């Protein structure tokens, strides 16, 4: 809310600087987000008096004026406006002046006459809405003084929280300030001079459902003359961010800003027979609203209507037909209280949230309905002339009693960690208008317990909780009617802290008992992240919300295994029903496409290489059940070995990614990963794609997923050159696991025995398969197998290759004898030959 | 062959050998010379073959001379060897000189993402005070995300969280980590000290300080006597650990439907230190997080008796913490993943 300080000072004595006021409001919970100094942007604009106004010698539409600013020679200024006459005092922008919008005024020649500056309209100064004529200042305005000194103002931008609708007004904020300065608030004058036929004889209001409109106060003002508001009123409204419309409409807006009470004013001529009905819309009903949109009305819409049909949407927007216009003579002032939820829903439904609906949503003080009606009628009569008809129509004149909230001062201290005596707490609360009574005082039915105690409301709303306390331990706060936010004991505690000052709450460290140890679900994830960073990869964090097209681009078609205990990637994608943009409208199911976006965006910026990973989630639903699964994904592109003067660049390939997978497996204490070709995964190169799996000592899957080179058509789709290697892995413990603790054994003192074997096979035989053959046949002494060479060429046939493996044998307890190793090797060779291999000598 | 002749031959061999050793051009030649002179089939052995022709009484005397000759030759070879090796090492060292001013062979350096790193930093600080990490789902139901946090449907406070809804009735993408409070209270008994980090979503246009996806870290502490003063003390510790021991802090009123009282927690501006500058909106303070005492209704939904238990909750954005700490002014950088940006972190 924009709060002009000049307006605030109407209701509370406030000598302090804007910075002081801003800080105090912030410390009261009314956070000041900004301080605007209006008028600072006017430089060299002063008050002048027109000595003469003559026709421009060469242009009929222009005037030549002589202006004095009190001292020096009179200035000749050319002016296009027609509302000026000699003797008027006006704002004069002297040469060198700067107006809002950084508009610079210089000495210029206009049709052969030198103009020494400019006479300003209210609009040019952004003071009033009047752009047609020069702004005429009061005749007693002192000559020559800078305009900023007269009309400059400071406007605070105050963030009023949703629970404090009462402070969404100048008077409300004045009350807050008065609480800390110890002064009192001057309430706006709402007395009216009445004459003529009484309102109840001209106007009748029927409310069909009082739960939707708890009070409707109507007033009748006759014989108004619609026109612009006084300049001072326009200045205030503009400073507060409200566009001036006309004296009648401005009166309603003025009251809304001042008191926080939204008001609507109808042209009385549009209200048939002076009979208003507040009712829900009927099926098929339509209304052209003030914004000239013809709307079909939803049956839950609360209407202000007459016998002929809707006049306006209650609390949200009036109808065009009953709008106040220049021709309006008589007006009906509506000051009503509507159901907050109904207004909120209606405003959302029509996309018409306004300053008025915002205030209705937060609830309104009952008594403001009458005050608002009177104050508006008074201002209409003051600014637009007219006669206020005697009396009001009022559907619910009885004021409800103020709320009484019992609280235990000891409990307030226990919540806050303070040691404030009950009397001290009472004194603090009284500063904001709460009256404090002793517990059990009088026969107070709202707080009387079933026994001798006083009922203290600990919780309200959907889960109410009331406890009965000893009257001696209780005080009862009588809450001012505007404070609709104070309902339970904890609200009182907050009010005590707020007014006493949060800076006076002590700073202590908890002395309560410690919870038991609990291992962190982040442990394994964090460990893996650090291991991959150690291997030179950069971690990225990408959006979980992606484009539907991105979802389709990389989607594993073949079922992908998951590590033990991890969540399967399954189900259909989950879409956002109100997305910000199509680019971020569904939850991803794989991380790979997101990483490819990052590869592409960095490549576009000229980055030669990208090696990244992300630990993130995929999402899906099966029926009404949602699931979220953690995955580790990586992408490699460009030279993994960065070029240097002492090393050529080397592009990342599948083997690099496999090395990283092996690093992960090793870090988690798993065995060497094994790979199975996956030729039919559409996102991947059919000849360079594999399913990877690594198992632990018990045979459980510790890591599983897809690894491969991105399909060339996708590389092209992402507009990247070269090859991109990707992997997406499910890792046991990624969801909430701990790092496995390695079992350590003393290294054998016996030397290992190494033997090599080279086997010739056709190209279609995977190396992994032969390695399995070796492992299966070598017997219990085998410790390790490693492919160390691949050979193609003479004397091998064209479709053949030779795979050379190095086997390491050892026994923990003894030195191996030659015959044992030879026997194992013979078994390996036989098995390889059975498997279709030929020994290469 | 007599004694004199044999000793003469030995002396000749010695002087010849001494000259040859001293003239040996390199270690290899010296080694060959040693074999030629002293080897099994070397010249010394050849000379000594004549010893058998001598009378028995002369043999010891020749043996003594032969030993002296052998020692003399060995010493000469050793001496020459030493000087040769010294020279050769010098030559090798000279030959092997490199330009030590050239840069090394680069090793790829990785980096952790600043959002998650800030989260880890926050968790590490609160771990010292006994806070354990718990996670809760990102796809939430409306009831846990709002209603059980004392935000009924159609409540004006819902304006504080512009929500992204999903095509599963009653479900949404969590707008904050606060629903985790409910899940924790329902599954753990007090004393509770938990930290709930994770990804959150809002219907919010992207600009320098807003995003539709971001991270949050929620804290919750519930026990029988946990007070607002404890919250203040703990947050002071946090601010000092995160931003520096001497930093001033400030509690001021805030508003959240799920806490009562609610507070905002500020730290003195890290840029100007108090007088006010553009970074702090001329107030001298930077807002770090929102917090408050858990609302009795929320305790009840968590299955706890608000008459017996009380506690506090706080929520902060790790990106905001990271921005303040590293002097970052644009939130969008965190999700853009420009490697030039990411490479500045460790």
Q: What is the pLDDT of residues A97-116, one digit of tens each?
A: 888 888 888 888 888 888 88
Inform me whether the pLDDT recorded for A764 exceeds 60.
Answer: yes
Quickly tell me which residue has 């939803």 as its tokens: A298
Mutate to test the interface with B, among A158, A417, A614 (most CBs of B within 10 A): A417
Omega cis (within 30) before A539? no
Q: Answer with the residue of higher pLDDT: A511 or A710.
A: A710
Name beta bridge partners: B324. Answer: none
Quickly tell me which residue has 């009885």 as its tokens: A398
pLDDT for res A313 = 97
Mutate to test the interface with B, among A502, A536, A619, A629 (most CBs of B within 10 A): A502
Please tell me what DSSP assigns to residue A545. E
Which chain B residue is nearest to residue A341, measuring alpha carbons?
B154
pLDDT for res A443 = 58
Chain-chain contact of B233 with A621 (C-beta, under 8 angstroms)? no
Which chain B residue is nearest to residue A523, measuring alpha carbons?
B133
Residues of B within 8 A of A31 (CB-CB) are: 252, 264
Which chain A residue is nearest to residue B155, measuring alpha carbons?
A341
Distance from CA of A611 to the nearest CA of B (A): 9
* pLDDT tens digits, one per residue of A439-486: 875 556 677 777 778 999 999 988 899 999 999 999 999 999 999 999
Which chain A residue is nearest to residue B257, measuring alpha carbons?
A163
Quickly tell me which residue has 């002192």 as its tokens: A142
Chain-chain contact of B138 with A544 (C-beta, under 8 angstroms)? yes
Phi-psi region of A282 (alpha: psi -120 to 50; beta: other; left: phi over 0): beta
For chain A, percent of residues with pLDDT exceeding 70? 99
Q: Which of B243, B293, B299 shows the shortest CA–CA distance to B266?
A: B243
Question: How does strand A465-469 pair with strand A309-313?
Answer: unpaired
CATH code matching the domain that covers B114-342, chosen among 3.40.50.720, 3.30.450.90, 3.30.930.10, 3.30.365.10: 3.30.930.10
Inform me whether the pLDDT recorded for A639 exceeds 70.
Answer: yes
Alpha carbons A689 and A706: distance in angstroms, whole number: 7
Residues of A within 8 A of B135 (CB-CB) are: 521, 736
Which chain A residue is nearest to residue B237, measuring alpha carbons?
A509
Task: Find the CB nearest A544 among B157, B167, B213.
Answer: B213
**What HEC string does A619-670 produce?**
EEEECCEEEEEEEEEEEEECEEECCECCECCEECCHHHHHHHHHHHHHHCCC
Alpha carbons A490 and A362: distance in angstroms, whole number: 20
Chain-chain contact of B205 with A628 (C-beta, under 8 angstroms)? no
Distance from CA of A572 to the nearest CA of B (A): 11
Kindly indicate whether the domain formed by A2-39+155-181 is annotated with CATH number 3.30.56.10. yes
Where do you find CATH 3.30.930.10 in chain A? 523-731
**Structural element, H or E, at residue A35:** strand A31-38
Task: Give me chain A's average pLDDT, please.
Answer: 92
Chain-chain contact of A626 with B171 (C-beta, under 8 angstroms)? yes
pLDDT for res B52 = 78
Residues of A within 8 A of B159 (CB-CB) are: 162
Measured CA to CA in angstroms, residue A638 lies from A50, A392, A714, A722, B205 at distances of 77, 81, 16, 7, 34
pLDDT for res A1 = 94
What CATH architecture applies to the domain A199-394?
Answer: 3-Layer(bba) Sandwich (3.50)
Chain-chain contact of B166 with A27 (C-beta, under 8 angstroms)? no
Which chain B residue is nearest to residue A27, measuring alpha carbons?
B252
Distance from CA of B73 to the nearest CA of A (A): 43
Question: First CA to last CA across chain A, in angstroms?
Answer: 89
Q: Where are the beta strands (DSSP E) in B153-284?
A: 171-173, 192-201, 213-223, 249-253, 259-268
Task: Find the CB nearest A513 among B147, B191, B201.
Answer: B191
The CATH number of the structural domain formed by A753-839 is: 3.30.70.380
Domain ranges of chain B: 3-95, 114-342
Chain-chain contact of A503 with B150 (C-beta, under 8 angstroms)? no
Where do you find CATH 3.50.40.10 in chain A? 199-394
Written as tens digits, the pLDDT of chain B (346 aa) is 677 888 888 888 888 888 888 888 888 888 998 888 888 888 888 888 878 778 888 888 888 888 888 888 888 889 988 988 888 888 989 999 999 999 998 889 999 999 999 999 999 999 999 999 999 999 999 999 999 999 998 888 888 889 999 999 999 999 999 999 999 999 999 999 999 999 999 999 999 889 999 999 999 999 999 999 999 999 999 999 999 998 999 999 999 999 999 999 999 999 888 888 888 888 899 999 999 999 999 999 999 999 999 999 999 999 999 999 999 999 999 999 999 999 999 8
Task: Find the CB nearest A611 among B108, B204, B264.
Answer: B108
pLDDT for res A441 = 52
Among A278-287, A552-561, A769-778, whose mean pLDDT is lowest? A552-561
The CATH superfamily holding the domain A43-151 is Nucleic acid-binding proteins (2.40.50.140)
For chain B, give me the number of helices (H) and strands (E)?
12, 9
Where do you find CATH 3.30.56.10 in chain A? 2-39+155-181, 404-504
Chain-chain contact of B254 with A161 (C-beta, under 8 angstroms)? yes
**Which segments of A718-811 does DSSP mark as H helices, in order?**
767-777
Mutate to test the interface with B, among A342, A415, A495 (most CBs of B within 10 A): A415
Measured CA to CA in angstroms, residue A435 lies from A343, A438, A482 at distances of 32, 10, 13
The confidence band for A582, taking pLDDT boundaries of 50, 70 and 90, is very high
Among A69-83, A703-717, A774-788, whose mean pLDDT is lowest? A69-83
pLDDT for res A138 = 84
Residues of B within 8 A of A530 (CB-CB) are: 112
Residues of A within 8 A of B290 (CB-CB) are: none
For chain A, give me the number of helices (H) and strands (E)?
20, 43
pLDDT for res A442 = 52
Chain-chain contact of A540 with B337 (C-beta, under 8 angstroms)? yes
Please tell me what DSSP assigns to residue A168. S
pLDDT for res A400 = 92
Tally of CB atoms within 10 A around A163: 24
Residues of A within 8 A of B251 (CB-CB) are: 502-503, 505
For residues A88 and A136, the answer to whether their CB atoms sit within 8 Å is yes
Mutate to test the interface with B, among A468, A486, A515, A609 (most CBs of B within 10 A): A515
pLDDT for res B84 = 86
Mutate to test the interface with A, among B296, B331, B341 (most CBs of A within 10 A): B296
Chain-chain contact of B111 with A23 (C-beta, under 8 angstroms)? no
Which chain B residue is nearest to residue A510, measuring alpha carbons?
B230
- CATH topology classification for A404-504: Phenylalanyl-tRNA Synthetase; Chain B, domain 1 (3.30.56)
Q: Which of B155, B218, B129 shows the shortest CA–CA distance to B182?
A: B218
Provide DSSP, B67-81. Answer: HHHHHHHHHHHHHHH
Question: How does strand A610-622 pair with strand A538-539?
Answer: parallel
Alpha carbons B217 and B176: distance in angstroms, whole number: 9
CATH code matching the domain that covers A523-731, chosen among 3.40.190.10, 3.30.930.10, 3.30.420.40, 1.10.3720.10: 3.30.930.10
* Buried-state track B94-104, b at ≥16 Cβ within 10 A, e below 16: eeeeeeeeeee
Which chain A residue is nearest to residue B133, measuring alpha carbons?
A520
Chain-chain contact of A602 with B338 (C-beta, under 8 angstroms)? yes
Chain-chain contact of A509 with B230 (C-beta, under 8 angstroms)? yes
Phi-psi region of B337 (alpha: psi -120 to 50; beta: other; left: phi over 0): left
Provide DSSP, A341-389. Answer: HHHHHHHHHHT---HHHHHHHT---TTHHHHHHHHHHHHHHHHH--EEP
Q: Looking at residues A660-675, what average pLDDT do you find? A: 94
């Amino acid at each position: 809310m924009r709060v002009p300080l000049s307006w605030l000072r109407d209701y509370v004595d406030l000598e302090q600087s804007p910075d002081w006021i801003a800080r105090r409001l912030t410390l009261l919970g009314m956070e000041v987000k900004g301080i605007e100094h209006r008028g600072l942007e006017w430089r060299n604009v002063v008050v002048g008096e027109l000595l003469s106004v003559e026709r421009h010698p060469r242009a009929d539409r222009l005037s030549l004026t002589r202006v004095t600013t009190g001292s020096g020679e009179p200035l000749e200024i050319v002016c296009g406006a027609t509302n000026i006459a000699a003797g008027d005092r006006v704002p004069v922008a002297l040469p060198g002046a700067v107006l809002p919008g950084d508009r610079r005024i210089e000495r210029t020649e206009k049709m052969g006459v030198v103009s020494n500056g400019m006479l300003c309209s209210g609009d040019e100064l952004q003071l009033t809405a009047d752009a047609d004529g020069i702004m005429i200042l009061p005749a007693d305005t002192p000559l020559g003084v800078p305009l900023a000194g007269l009309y400059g103002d400071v406007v605070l931008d105050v963030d009023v929280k949703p629970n404090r609708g009462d402070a969404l007004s100048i008077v409300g904020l004045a009350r807050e300030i008065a609480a800390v300065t110890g002064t009192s608030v001057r309430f706006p004058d709402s007395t009216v001079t009445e004459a003529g036929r009484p309102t109840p004889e001209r106007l009748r209001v029927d409310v069909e459902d009082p739960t939707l409109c708890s009070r409707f106060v109507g007033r009748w003002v006759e014989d108004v003359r619609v026109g612009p508001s006084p300049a001072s009123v326009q200045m205030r409204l503009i400073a507060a961010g409200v566009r001036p419309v006309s004296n009648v409409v401005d009166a309603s807006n003025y009251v809304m800003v001042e008191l926080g009470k939204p008001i609507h004013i109808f042209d009385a001529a549009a209200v048939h027979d002076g009979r208003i009905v507040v009712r829900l819309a009927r099926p098929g009903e339509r209304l052209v609203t003030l914004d000239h949109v013809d709307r079909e009305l939803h049956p839950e819409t609360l209407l202000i209507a007459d016998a002929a049909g809707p006049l306006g949407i209650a609390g949200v927007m009036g109808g065009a037909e009953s709008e106040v216009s220049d021709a309006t003579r008589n007006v009906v002032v509506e000051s009503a209280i509507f159901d907050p939820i109904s207004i909120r829903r209606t405003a959302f439904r029509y996309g018409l949230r306004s300053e008025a609906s915002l205030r209705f949503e937060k609830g309104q003080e009952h008594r403001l309905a009458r005050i608002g009606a009177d104050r508006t009628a008074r201002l209409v009569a003051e600014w637009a002339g007219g006669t206020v008809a005697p009396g009001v129509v009022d559907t619910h004149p009885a004021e409800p009693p103020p709320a009484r909230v019992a609280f235990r001062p000891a409990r307030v201290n226990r919540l806050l960690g303070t040691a404030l005596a009950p009397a001290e707490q009472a004194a603090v609360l009284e500063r904001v208008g709460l009256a404090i009574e002793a517990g059990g005082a009088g026969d107070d039915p709202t707080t009387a317990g079933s026994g001798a105690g006083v009922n203290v409301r600990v919780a309200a709303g959907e889960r109410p909780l009331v406890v009965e306390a000893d009257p001696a331990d209780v005080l009862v706060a009588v809450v001012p009617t505007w404070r609709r936010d104070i309902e339970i004991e904890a609200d009182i505690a907050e009010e005590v802290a707020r007014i006493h000052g949060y800076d006076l709450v002590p700073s202590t460290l908890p002395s309560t008992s410690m919870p038991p140890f609990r291992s962190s679900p982040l442990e394994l994830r964090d460990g893996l992240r650090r291991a991959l960073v150690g291997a030179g990869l950069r971690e990225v964090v990408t959006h979980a919300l992606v484009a539907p097209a991105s979802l389709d681009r990389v989607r594993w078609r073949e079922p992908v295994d998951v590590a033990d205990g991890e969540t399967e990637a399954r189900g259909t994608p989950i879409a956002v029903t109100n997305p910000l943009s199509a680019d971020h409208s569904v939850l991803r199911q794989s991380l790979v496409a997101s990483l490819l976006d990052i590869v592409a965006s960095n490549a576009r910026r000229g980055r030669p290489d990208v090696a990244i990973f992300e630990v993130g989630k995929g999402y899906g639903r099966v029926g009404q059940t949602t699931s979220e699964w953690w995955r580790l994904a990586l992408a490699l592109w460009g030279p993994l070995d960065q070029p240097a003067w002492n090393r050529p660049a080397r592009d990342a390939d599948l083997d690099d990614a496999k090395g990283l997978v092996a690093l992960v497996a090793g870090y988690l204490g798993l065995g060497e990963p094994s790979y199975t070709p996956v030729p039919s995964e559409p996102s991947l190169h059919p000849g360079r794609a594999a399913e990877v799996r690594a198992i632990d000592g018990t045979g459980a899957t510790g890591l599983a997923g897809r690894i491969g080179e991105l399909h060339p058509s996708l590389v092209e789709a992402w507009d990247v050159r070269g090859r991109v290697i990707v992997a997406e892995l499910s890792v046991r413990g990624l969801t909430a696991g701990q790092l496995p603790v390695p079992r350590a054994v003393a290294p054998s003192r016996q030397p290992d025995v190494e033997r090599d074997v080279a086997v010739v096979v056709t190209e279609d035989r995977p190396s992994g398969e032969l390695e399995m053959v070796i492992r299966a046949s070598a017997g219990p002494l085998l410790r390790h197998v490693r492919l160390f060479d691949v050979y193609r060429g003479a004397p091998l046939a064209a479709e053949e290759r030779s795979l050379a493996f190095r086997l390491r044998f050892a026994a923990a307890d003894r030195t191996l004898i030659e015959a044992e190793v030879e026997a194992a090797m013979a078994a390996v060779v036989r098995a390889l030959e059975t498997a279709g291999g030929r020994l290469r000598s | 062959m007599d004694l004199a002749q044999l000793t003469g031959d030995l002396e000749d061999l010695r002087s010849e050998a001494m000259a040859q050793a001293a003239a040996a051009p390199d270690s290899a030649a010296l080694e060959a010379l040693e074999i030629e002179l002293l080897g099994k089939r070397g010249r010394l052995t050849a000379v000594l073959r004549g010893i058998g022709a001598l009378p028995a009484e002369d043999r010891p005397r020749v043996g003594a001379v032969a030993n002296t000759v052998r020692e003399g030759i060995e010493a000469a070879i050793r001496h020459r060897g030493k000087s040769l090796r010294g020279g050769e090492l010098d030559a090798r060292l000279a030959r092997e000189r490199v330009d030590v001013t050239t840069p090394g062979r680069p090793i790829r350096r990785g980096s952790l993402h600043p959002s998650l790193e800030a989260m880890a930093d926050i968790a590490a600080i609160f771990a010292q005070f006994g806070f354990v990490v718990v996670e809760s789902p990102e796809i939430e139901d409306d009831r846990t995300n709002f209603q059980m946090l004392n935000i009924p449907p159609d409540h004006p406070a819902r304006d504080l969280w512009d929500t992204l809804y999903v095509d599963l009735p009653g479900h949404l993408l969590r707008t904050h980590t606060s629903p985790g409070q409910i899940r924790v209270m329902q599954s753990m008994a007090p004393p509770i000290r938990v930290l709930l980090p994770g990804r959150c979503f809002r219907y919010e246009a992207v600009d320098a300080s807003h995003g539709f996806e971001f991270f949050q870290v929620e804290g919750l502490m519930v026990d029988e006597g946990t007070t607002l003063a404890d919250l203040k003390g703990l947050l002071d510790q946090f601010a000092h650990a995160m931003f520096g021991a001497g930093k001033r802090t400030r509690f001021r009123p805030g508003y959240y439907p799920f806490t009562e009282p609610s507070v905002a927690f500020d730290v003195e501006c890290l840029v100007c230190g108090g007088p006010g500058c553009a970074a702090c909106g001329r107030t001298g303070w930077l807002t770090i997080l929102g917090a408050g005492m858990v609302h009795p209704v929320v305790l009840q939904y968590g299955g706890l008796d608000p008459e017996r238990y009380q506690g506090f909750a706080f929520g902060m954005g790790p990106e905001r913490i990271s921005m303040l700490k590293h002097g970052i002014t644009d939130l969008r950088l965190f999700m853009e993943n420009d490697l030039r940006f990411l490479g500045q972190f460790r």
